[in-house]
Structure 1
Amino acid sequence: MKVHRIKLLFLAVVGFIIVFLIFMNKEKETVTLEFGMFAGSNWEVPNGNCYAIIDSAIKRFEKENPGVKIHYSSGILKEDYSEWFSKQLLLGKEPDVFMVLEDDFITFSSIGVLKNLDKFINNDKGFKKEAFYSSVLGEGRYEESQYALPYETVPVLMFANKTLLKSEGIEIPDRDWTWDKFYEICEKVTKDTDADGVVDQFGSYDYSWENAVFANGGKLFQDKGSKCYVGSDNVVEAVKFVYKLNQLNQNHQVTSEEFDSGKVAFRPFPFSEFRSYQDYPLKVKKYSNFEWDCITMPAGPKGDNISQISTLQIGISARTTKEQLAWKFIKYLTYNPQTQLDIYRYSQGASVLKEVTESEVVNEELKKEVEKGARIIDNVLLSRIIEHARTVPKFPKYKTTKIMVENQIDQILQSDDNKRSSLMAIQWEIDKFLKK
């Protein structure tokens, strides 16, 4: 009997050791990849499903890659994300893969925080750069190399107050409308509606000289930041047009409250705003007293119906020890059609993949977001807008130089001075600064 008990005890001990070794071996085999992200929307609009896309992608990725675990810290707000990331960077604990805000990209790529992705792109036969829109892919390029891949993008479009235009007997402009049509409509709707001697209905709000520069085929700087183009014909025409447009308001500064209350015909807005506030009850909360549509930006005489685009990107840490796995995961977020389709279901932006945005599934998703009878930005038009959208240059002095230009052009728009000579003076000053 004792011998039997000893055998049972021995077998139990051996069994425990085997289970323990198996468990330890599994623990050793599990590879954890750290992912850096923030909560909420990148586009400053409400988003109650901020983790839905990532959680779904992680679940599928882990299932397809046994032994891999993706971990991220939740609850980091976008406004705190850069500070949080900087602290992790100083501690040498930055995530293997992480979201890259637009304001951080140039710094991260220029000081070596982001891994150069060229070798992965060139050696991965299953990866085609052409699958992305060239405009958004270009957002992740610095000095001829790719340092991040686009994840989600948002172009700027024009909101049109359909109720106001209808009351004035004006049709919503078509997708190929121009500055001439824009000015004509603004001139017609700008008026004193209650006969008190004060203009109280306006053509546009927040249409900036930069919006006009993009639409007129202009640019402020050479791509590498070696020269300023503020004095070029395209930019001069754009500034003159916005000055002329502003004069319609008779020195009144139109406000966002006036647009929200239905007193303004047009306002440029990100595509994300259009998607968010089409949704009930946000539509009721934000714009309840008028109907509106979303259309393209008007084209200048030297340009097209082009607008600026903003892109949220994802990069790999230059110090990661798991670069192949990191590359595999970054592709799963940016290059995987299922992940990218979820952007139309759970976020407010647009997919960076042509195949996804141009699909009929996306067209049906966009139709769900508009009221019956309202026009939609269909997937074909959206695809065209994204592909031809303009991006800002990528050079270290860009932020500082842009602020200098903005401040001085804003002053020019407040005066009657010769616009061309004033802009040429700015260009000369900025060129000197760029050469330092």
Structure 2
Amino acid sequence: MGSSNWGYKKNGDKKMNLKRYKKSIVAAILIIIIAGSFFIYVKLLEARKNVVLTVGIFCGSWNTPSENTYKILDSAILKFEKSHPGVKIEYSSGILKEDFSEWISEKILLGKEPDVFMVLPDDFNVLSSTGSLKNLDKLIKNDKDFNSSKYYESAYESGKYNKSQFALPYESVPTLMMVNKTLLDKEGIPVPKNNWTWDDFYNICKKVTKDTDKDGVIDQFGFYDYTWEDAVYSNGIKLFNTAGTKSYFGDEKVEEAVNFVKKLNDVNNGYRVTSQVFDMGKVAFRPLSFSEYRTYKPYPWSIKKYSNFEWDCIELPSGPNGKNVSQLNTLLMGISSRTMHEKLSWEFLKLLTYDEKTQKNVFKYSEGVSPIKAVIESPKNIDEINKSIPSESSLSMKILDNIMKSAAVTPKFKKYNAVMIKADNDMNNIINGKEDLDTALLILQRDINNMLIN
């Protein structure tokens, strides 16, 4: 019995020792893992101590210089640096919008461009096609926390070139139709609904265009600055194919749009309406970018530039083959293709363009619209911004949401800016001339196509 008990005890001790040994091995492994992780963390911190991320921005928004740009950026930098110990973000201040294109071009030529920088709409095609901007496709694909559906589709598409994403939208500016409520009230005409058409637009313009003081000269007008592009976008036609190798200026829908603008111009009986006439309150309608709208006082929604008339905004009228669509301009942000800090640049780019708190500040302090749906749709954000809206006039968030959802995106190909300069010049000559419209548009299409392929 004694021998048996002793053997049992001996086996038990072996099992206990084995358990203790296994526990000590596990503990040792955990210590090694923790120590290794800490070592890696320390090394990462040490590596980041000298990391400086540079940002290129211009002062202000679309129309006016403003310190609010730095307020938005500084808030984002503070948040980023707090969550990324050892990383510092620097930027140059005082660069105006009108100087920014030249400034960023010089930096790129010198190989000293910022890691992350703003991209104006007119610069995007060139910067994308020349390899100055990093292709973001892989970064987007590998980031499980990124979902492009958070953006309004038109705004997101503005950063796409040759089917690849080269920039993310920071701030958008849709086009609205400004309505002189006082003038329409005087003429007994209600403000049009948002589903109004070209016919509605024309009939109102014809009715309000008149000589009010009976001196033989027309002094009240229906519209100012409604362009052939406004008409084309709202008549369901794209002027170019996706690749930018072919144009469609000879399409019958374009001809309809041009005919409509000619018809509108005829109502003015040859008189050229100016911005001064508009400012005097003698014009019923004017397409206006949202950024221009917000620069009027009181800020941000109601235009009361003069005390004798009030304004509101609606969507642009639709053509017979289109919808109430207007053009969208988007200020983009991208990453330098030569950045040495790809991951950090991507994270900061997301903070500026994708983070809802940052985008709320963009909507609040800038002149544009946030491209993030949730920012526009949030009742809390709307309530906060509505505090500065005068009671007698305001912009409906539903209207703004609709405009952003249906907005037309400017085509993205290298020669777009060049061909559109010619197209605009020739189109205005066609509208103001007496040549056969069908023939003139076909000639324009031929000339533009030659420019595209050569």
User: Scaled by the length of structure 1, what TM-score is found?
Assistant: 0.90
**What is the count of residue pairs matched by the alignment?**
411
- Are residue 92 (structure 1) and residue 111 (structure 2) matched? yes
- Are residue 315 (structure 1) and residue 334 (structure 2) matched? yes
Residues 59 and 66, structure 2, Cα contact 8 Å, conserved in 1: no
- Are residue 407 (structure 1) and residue 393 (structure 2) matched? no
Matched letter for residue 85 of structure 1: I
Q: Shift in Å at residue 28 of structure 1?
A: 6.3
Distance 1:299 1:329 in 2: 40
Matched letter for residue 450 of structure 2: K
Partner of 2:359: 340
Partner of 1:188: 207
Q: Matched residues, percent identical?
A: 53
Distance 2:48 2:453 in 1: 54
Partner of 2:183: 164
Matched letter for residue 94 of structure 1: E
Q: Shift in Å at residue 417 of structure 1?
A: 2.5
Distance 2:319 2:313 in 1: 19
Q: Any gaps of 5 or more consecutive residues in structure 2?
A: 1-41
Distance 2:46 2:452 in 1: 56
Q: Shift in Å at residue 418 of structure 1?
A: 2.4
Distance 1:376 1:241 in 2: 28
Partner of 2:52: 32
Alignment equivalent of 2:158, drawn from 129, 136, 139: 139
Alignment equivalent of 1:76, drawn from 67, 87, 95: 95
Matched letter for residue 138 of structure 1: E
- Aligned ranges 1:33-432 → 2 under 5 Å: 33-41=53-61, 43-45=62-64, 47-279=66-298, 286-378=305-397, 380-432=398-450
Residues 302 and 390, structure 2, Cα contact 8 Å, conserved in 1: no
Q: Shift in Å at residue 310 of structure 1?
A: 0.5
User: Scaled by the length of structure 2, what TM-score is found?
Assistant: 0.87
User: Residues 284, 415 of structure 1: CA spacing in aligned structure 2 closer, same or farther, 3 A cutoff?
Assistant: closer
Q: 1:367-407, CA deviations, whole angstroms, 9 ceiling, x for partnerless residues?
A: 334321324222x3212211210011111111111111111
User: Residues 276, 361 of structure 1: CA spacing in aligned structure 2 closer, same or farther, 3 A cutoff?
Assistant: farther
Runs of at least 4 residues off by over 6 Å: 25-28, 281-285
User: Residues 28, 198 of structure 1: CA spacing in aligned structure 2 closer, same or farther, 3 A cutoff?
Assistant: closer
Residues 118 and 334, structure 2, Cα contact 8 Å, conserved in 1: yes
Residues 135 and 388, structure 1, Cα contact 8 Å, conserved in 2: yes
Q: 1:215-246, CA deviations, whole angstroms, 9 ceiling, x for partnerless residues?
A: 11122211211111111121111100000001
Residues 219 and 235, structure 1, Cα contact 8 Å, conserved in 2: no
Distance 2:362 2:87 in 1: 24
User: Residues 394, 27 of structure 1: CA spacing in aligned structure 2 closer, same or farther, 3 A cutoff?
Assistant: closer
Q: Any gaps of 5 or more consecutive residues in structure 1?
A: 1-21
Residues 152 and 404, structure 2, Cα contact 8 Å, conserved in 1: yes
Distance 1:394 1:248 in 2: 35
User: Residues 235, 369 of structure 1: CA spacing in aligned structure 2 closer, same or farther, 3 A cutoff?
Assistant: farther
Q: Shift in Å at residue 279 of structure 1?
A: 2.0
User: Residues 418, 388 of structure 1: CA spacing in aligned structure 2 closer, same or farther, 3 A cutoff?
Assistant: same
Q: Shift in Å at residue 174 of structure 1?
A: 1.0
Distance 1:370 1:45 in 2: 20
User: Residues 79, 375 of structure 1: CA spacing in aligned structure 2 closer, same or farther, 3 A cutoff?
Assistant: closer
Distance 2:370 2:220 in 1: 37
Residues 224 and 393, structure 1, Cα contact 8 Å, conserved in 2: no
Distance 2:375 2:248 in 1: 36
Asked which structure has the greater CA Rg, the reply is 2
Residues 299 and 389, structure 2, Cα contact 8 Å, conserved in 1: no
Residues 96 and 320, structure 1, Cα contact 8 Å, conserved in 2: yes
Distance 2:229 2:245 in 1: 20
Residues 33 and 68, structure 1, Cα contact 8 Å, conserved in 2: yes
Matched letter for residue 364 of structure 1: D
Residues 48 and 85, structure 2, Cα contact 8 Å, conserved in 1: no
Aligned-partner SS, 1:159: strand
Residues 193 and 201, structure 1, Cα contact 8 Å, conserved in 2: yes
